[in-house]
Amino acid sequence: MNEIRIITVDGPSGSGKGTLAQRLAAHLKWHFLDSGAIYRVLGLMVDRVDISVDSVGKIAELARSMPLSFDGERALLSGEDVTGEIRTETAGNQASKVAAIPEVRTALLAWQRDYAKPPGLVADGRDMGTVVFPQAQLKIFLTASPEERAKRRYKQLKEKGLGVNLAGLIEEIRERDERDSQRTAAPLKAAEDALTLDSTQLSIDEVFSQVVGKVHETFPDLSGI
């Protein structure tokens, strides 16, 4: 098989897709693409240079020239570590707004596709299986109810010592889902050939072992891993 092996993990925020994708990549020793981080960094730049989210041309230009690099899990903007700053709810919302711009998505396509390198790639996002890597051999779409996703986020934020309001989080998650799935450019949706898993009642370990089973079916030579 000459094609590069790709596993896509798409789904709404808080579904556990980031944790799953990262764990899979580490387990398989494959490359990992956190596409959400790219949109988050772009959102941060838009905030910093203080341009309106409506200035489509300027934002697309920023997307084309963004001095972003990754060092493992760290996101570096012109060498500055912005990992913490892009993980806030505000950064997630800003990312979701810039991500709705078709020119921005086009500008970031080649960048994302460059991650597909041997021995393989696990790509995490919203449109990995539908638009960026439609040729992926295994596509997972991970969902969970908005209430469960808000509860998970609430727990994470509390553990970090941040004060949050659960009802507010549920509302924000619903808004972000609505924006991500209703946009015309690469909306959040499962690819037709994706395996959809609902993690509402499942632990991350249960999700992981189901997906590893699927990985072994898809790539039989990896069954010893």
Is residue 7 a contact partner of residue 138, using CB atoms and an 8 Å limit? yes
The contacts of residue 163 (CB under 8 Å, 6+ apart) are none
- Per CB under 6 A, the list member of 39, 133, 141, 154 interacting with ligand DC is 39
Residues between 40 and 59 that touch ligand DC (CB under 6 A)? 40
Residue 13 binding ligand DC, by CB under 6 A: yes
> Could you tell me the smallest distance in angstroms from the CB atom of residue 35 to ligand DC?
4
- Give me 66's structure tokens: 């963004």
Residue 15 binding ligand DC, by CB under 6 A: no
Is residue 201 a contact partner of residue 173, using CB atoms and an 8 Å limit? no
Residue 6 binding ligand DC, by CB under 6 A: no
Residues between 166 and 225 that touch ligand DC (CB under 6 A)? 176, 180
Q: How many residues bind ligand DC (CB under 6 A)?
A: 14
Residue 36 binding ligand DC, by CB under 6 A: yes
Residue 152 binding ligand DC, by CB under 6 A: no
CB-wise, 18 or 120, nearer to ligand DC?
Answer: 18
Residue 130 binding ligand DC, by CB under 6 A: no
Residue 146 binding ligand DC, by CB under 6 A: no
Q: Contacts by 147-156 with C-beta closer than 8 Å and gap 24+?
A: 148/14, 148/199, 148/200, 149/12, 149/13, 149/14, 149/15, 149/173, 150/14, 152/14, 152/16, 153/13, 153/14, 153/89
Site mask, ligand DC, residues 98-117, x = CB under 6 A? -x------------------
Question: Could you tell me the end-to-end alpha-carbon distance of the chain, in angstroms, rounded to an integer?
Answer: 18
> Could you tell me the smallest distance in angstroms from the CB atom of residue 186 to ligand DC?
7
Which residue, chain included where needed, has tokens 């619903």? 174
Residue from 95, 99, 96 nearest 86 by CA = 95
Residue showing the smallest CB distance to ligand DC in the complex? 36
Is residue 190 a contact partner of residue 126, using CB atoms and an 8 Å limit? no
> Could you tell me the smallest distance in angstroms from the CB atom of residue 224 to ligand DC?
31
Query: CA angle, 62 as apex, 188 and 34 as ends, to 5°?
Result: 40
What is the strand order of the sheet 80-81 is part of? Answer: 68-71, 74-77, 80-81
Segment interacting with ligand DC, rule: CB under 6 A, options 73-81, 95-103, 151-159, 189-197: 95-103
Residue from 127, 109, 131, 142 nearest 16 by CA = 142
> Could you tell me the smallest distance in angstroms from the CB atom of residue 66 to ligand DC?
14
Residue 125 binding ligand DC, by CB under 6 A: yes
Q: Which residues bind ligand DC (CB under 6 A)?
A: 13, 35-36, 39-40, 92, 95-96, 99, 125-127, 176, 180
